[in-house]
Structure 1
Amino acid sequence: MSVLLIEPFYGGSHKQLMDLLQEELQEDCVLCTLPAKKWHWKARTSALYFMQTVPTSSNYRILFASSVLNLAELAALRPDLGKLKKVLYFHENQLAYPVQKCQERDFQYGYNQILSWFMPEHKLARLEKVIGVKRNGDAYQSEGLPGQQESRAVMKTIDAHPESGLCEPQPGLCTTQHEGLPSPAAAPVQAEAPERTNPCQGEDKQHLTFNLSNILSGLDYQQRPLHIAWPHRWEHDKDPETFFKVLMKLKEQDLPFHVSVLGETFSEIPDIFSEAREVLGSSVLHWGYLPSKDDYFRALCTADVVISTAKHEFFGVAMIEAVHCGCYPLCPKALVYPEIFPAEYLYSTPEQLFKRLQNFCKRPDIVRRHLYKGETAGFSWAALGSKFRSLLAAEPREDL
């Protein structure tokens, strides 16, 4: 139990990072968590909770936590933990997180991160390697039905298990020692979120299975309409308004396309989703979160283009996953995307995004023949695991 892992919001990429580290460290760690709900409440009060619940041990050497935790408060409340070497992982920057209304910004969450932040360290294998869908000339062959597994945890190798093993880059990693990780550093992909519900999912799950079966075995591959994927959380910071307005414009021009709107839902869903669901109608292949990782990767593997319209992104696991599954990415020429994706995959305005998709709808063969010109191997656990082990194996210094 030399490594103490603390996660106040144990869901999504937060959960998968902790699960991966726990799997790799095995008997050398202890994991303390809170459920993935009421995010703001966890940011305000989790230090007090963990002060009372984290077991004391003389074996702890390192504390690894996400920045949802107010680390400064925990260190003050638990002096024994304050003496440890501390590694704080930032999944996002609360000072820059977009708000729906200017008066809604609560400085407390960014302030928590400032208090906790010390000395930051700056920054398919395609279908058959992902879910057992093999390409046969210009067609796809499905090898069985997708499994009903409970999570999408990152695994060590994509060849050994139908998962991507993708990790986040170093800008999210801060440590109290000068030693750092060469960019990029690891974080995981999506995980189940039991509290996030989608009232439409039951009906559309059947819709997905039926349509994808037809796509995989029926229509000629090159003659199918363009399949667009949007695999993001249903929240305003992912800017679904821009995405759906572009798709509605394609629909108005009677351009053929299919869309899979994936990702998790929270208690509040932007109104644009219900409006878009009605307008897009038969163009929708799937609508909502897929608890089975096999279903999720199967949807990505049958998609041609993956879109991001995010207004706040420090890596974008879902985009890298989709590229690994063979999708052509289209991302804003902003945020972290220019650091990861070559220029041809970036757009500057919604109008540019529309024009790219307009051309792809008319000629889907363009993207289906395209070979991605960037690199994704550097984000895998195979590439980054040794760096994490090295970081978490370092001995604490006396001056910490």
Structure 2
Amino acid sequence: MRILLLSAYDAVSHQYWRKGLVEQFPEYDWTVLTLPGRFFSWRVRGNSLSWAFSERKCLEQPYDLLIATSMTDLSALKGLVPSLAGVPSIVYFHENQFAYPLSGKEFSSVEPKVLSLYSALAADFVVFNTRYNKETFFNGADALLKKLPDQVPPGLIELLASKTRILPVPVLDTALTKGESQSGPLQVIWNHRWEYDKGPELLYRVMLALKQQNVRVRFHLVGQQFRDIPPVFEQLKKDCCALIATWGHVDSRREYNDLLQNSDVVLSTALHDFQGIAVLEGVAAGCVPVVPDRLAYPELFSGEFCYSDQGNEAANLAEHLAGLAGLKAQQALPRAPSVGQFCWSEQQGAYRQLLTSAAGSR
């Protein structure tokens, strides 16, 4: 089977998914095209233009299946490269623009939402990584269609529902290597992009509260950084330096894995997570998850691992972490839940069925 795989905004999580997909099915003949994960507004609108005229020869080859990430402007690409219109297609949603929190600094436009809706309608199969991702997309798309003034065809949401599947971004099986808890302070890893949507303000308030309460805890603040880092990080470093054991991006995968295996807790303070791969990797390495009782997390973990966002969320989370620090002092930390069901060894069969069904759907 010849498969064309398009990643139009090849951010880290998108790379993780597409590389895993290709590696798991070496028997297929893969052609992969990617575009850098930068200049978001231009990339989501311009990827069809970029590819249709710079990669035309590649796109016009005979394929049995086309797989595109949700950032791909699939409807326009099929129009600009007519031969693609006859190829069965899958669009995979790592996230959706309807549920993405706004910083207040971006250019406000409905276009990314409309483009993702068009791409979903242009595909034969639409796949989401979690139920939360699917539901927020459908609710957002339905609300958007109701705002349009006229000439909106009926039944579009039902049409999308009829071709929708849910398959997670699988975690590599090599991540399932649990470490041993060490004595001393509670070791907490926060391993996310250093951007506003990962909740650094909440992280700051929690760390400040734990410092004031003299809780025995150390934080490993790691993750991908960009040119513009929210200023709260510098304030956090200044005010909470005594609690920080690791600061900044860890380049070595081996060092990162060691850090996960030597941590007790993997923490999310996110305003949005459509699956939370970083958290799943931490749990696979033996960390206890501490995650918000919202977003995709209630699908992944039972309530004992979730902190409430009702009332004072920072106080709730600080209390949760302080409790775990006390349990560690008593050598009574809970065991990390199993996430084996999210690994490639468990998900490969479902992915294979999707690929073969899609390729034979026309």
Shift of 1:104: 4.4
State the identity %.
Answer: 28
Residues 25-59 of structure 1 show CA distances to partners (whole Å, capped at 9, x for unaligned) of: 33511111122322332111011111121414453
Q: Hey, what does 1:185 align to over in structure 2?
A: 168
Shift of 1:103: 7.8
1:380 aligns with 2:340: no
Contact 1:7-1:69 at 8 Å conserved across structures? yes
| Counterparts of residues 96-135 of structure 1 (less than 5 Å) | 96-101=99-104, 104-118=107-121
Contact 2:126-2:160 at 8 Å conserved across structures? no
In structure 1, C-alpha distance between the alignment counterparts of 2:234 and 2:64, rounded to whole Å = 50
Residues 276-295 of structure 1 show CA distances to partners (whole Å, capped at 9, x for unaligned) of: 01112132111111122111
1:352 aligns with 2:335: no
- Give secondary structure in 1 for the equivalent of 2:97: coil
Q: Hey, what does 1:194 align to over in structure 2?
A: none
Contact 1:87-1:176 at 8 Å conserved across structures? no
Q: Specify every segment of 5 or more residues in structure 2 that has no aligned partner in the other structure, as ranges.
A: 138-158, 173-179
In structure 2, C-alpha distance between the alignment counterparts of 1:111 and 1:288, rounded to whole Å = 36
Aligned-partner residue type, residue 101 of structure 2: P
In structure 1, C-alpha distance between the alignment counterparts of 2:2 and 2:269, rounded to whole Å = 41
Shift of 1:11: 3.4
Contact 2:60-2:81 at 8 Å conserved across structures? no
| Counterparts of residues 322-341 of structure 1 (less than 5 Å) | 322-341=282-301
Shift of 1:102: 8.3
Q: Hey, what does 1:232 align to over in structure 2?
A: 192
Q: Hey, what does 2:142 align to over in structure 1?
A: none
Q: With the length of structure 2 as denominator, give the TM-score of the two structures.
A: 0.81
Q: Hey, what does 1:41 align to over in structure 2?
A: 42
- Give secondary structure in 1 for the equivalent of 2:355: helix
Shift of 1:170: 6.8
* Aligned residue pairs, count: 322
- Residues 177/305 of structure 1: CA separation in 2 closer, same or farther (3 Å cut): closer
In structure 1, C-alpha distance between the alignment counterparts of 2:11 and 2:127, rounded to whole Å = 25
Residues 6-35 of structure 1 show CA distances to partners (whole Å, capped at 9, x for unaligned) of: 112223111122112222333511111122
- Give secondary structure in 2 for the equivalent of 1:291: coil
Shift of 1:176: 8.2
Shift of 1:327: 1.1
Aligned-partner residue type, residue 59 of structure 1: P
Aligned-partner residue type, residue 34 of structure 2: T
Q: Hey, what does 2:182 align to over in structure 1?
A: 221
Residues 296-349 of structure 1 show CA distances to partners (whole Å, capped at 9, x for unaligned) of: 111111111111111111110111111111111111111111111101111112
- Residues 79/116 of structure 1: CA separation in 2 closer, same or farther (3 Å cut): same
Q: Specify every segment of 5 or more residues in structure 1 that has no aligned partner in the other structure, as ranges.
A: 124-167, 190-215
Aligned-partner residue type, residue 379 of structure 1: F
Shift of 1:232: 0.7
Question: Which residue of the other structure, out of 308, 316, 324, is the alignment partner of 2:276?
Answer: 316
Contact 1:301-1:327 at 8 Å conserved across structures? yes
In structure 2, C-alpha distance between the alignment counterparts of 1:56 and 1:248, rounded to whole Å = 53
Contact 1:251-1:280 at 8 Å conserved across structures? yes
Aligned-partner residue type, residue 182 of structure 2: Y
Contact 2:293-2:306 at 8 Å conserved across structures? yes
In structure 2, C-alpha distance between the alignment counterparts of 1:67 and 1:240, rounded to whole Å = 27
In structure 2, C-alpha distance between the alignment counterparts of 1:367 and 1:108, rounded to whole Å = 53
Question: Which residue of the other structure, out of 53, 63, 66, is the alignment partner of 2:69?
Answer: 66
Aligned-partner residue type, residue 318 of structure 1: A
Aligned-partner residue type, residue 47 of structure 1: S
Contact 1:66-1:88 at 8 Å conserved across structures? yes
In structure 1, C-alpha distance between the alignment counterparts of 2:21 and 2:61, rounded to whole Å = 21
- Give secondary structure in 1 for the equivalent of 2:6: strand
In structure 1, C-alpha distance between the alignment counterparts of 2:75 and 2:318, rounded to whole Å = 46
In structure 1, C-alpha distance between the alignment counterparts of 2:87 and 2:45, rounded to whole Å = 22
Stretch of structure 1 that moved more, 60-69 or 39-48: 39-48
Aligned-partner residue type, residue 104 of structure 2: K
Q: Hey, what does 2:356 align to over in structure 1?
A: 393
In structure 2, C-alpha distance between the alignment counterparts of 1:187 and 1:7, rounded to whole Å = 17
- Residues 37/101 of structure 1: CA separation in 2 closer, same or farther (3 Å cut): closer
- Residues 187/104 of structure 1: CA separation in 2 closer, same or farther (3 Å cut): farther
- Residues 72/366 of structure 1: CA separation in 2 closer, same or farther (3 Å cut): farther
1:12 aligns with 2:15: no
Contact 1:258-1:285 at 8 Å conserved across structures? yes
| Counterparts of residues 241-252 of structure 1 (less than 5 Å) | 241-252=201-212
Shift of 1:62: 0.9
The root-mean-square deviation of aligned C-alpha atoms, in Å, is: 2.7
1:81 aligns with 2:41: no
Aligned-partner residue type, residue 119 of structure 2: S
- Give secondary structure in 2 for the equivalent of 1:221: coil
Aligned-partner residue type, residue 186 of structure 1: V
In structure 2, C-alpha distance between the alignment counterparts of 1:377 and 1:64, rounded to whole Å = 26
Contact 2:91-2:127 at 8 Å conserved across structures? no
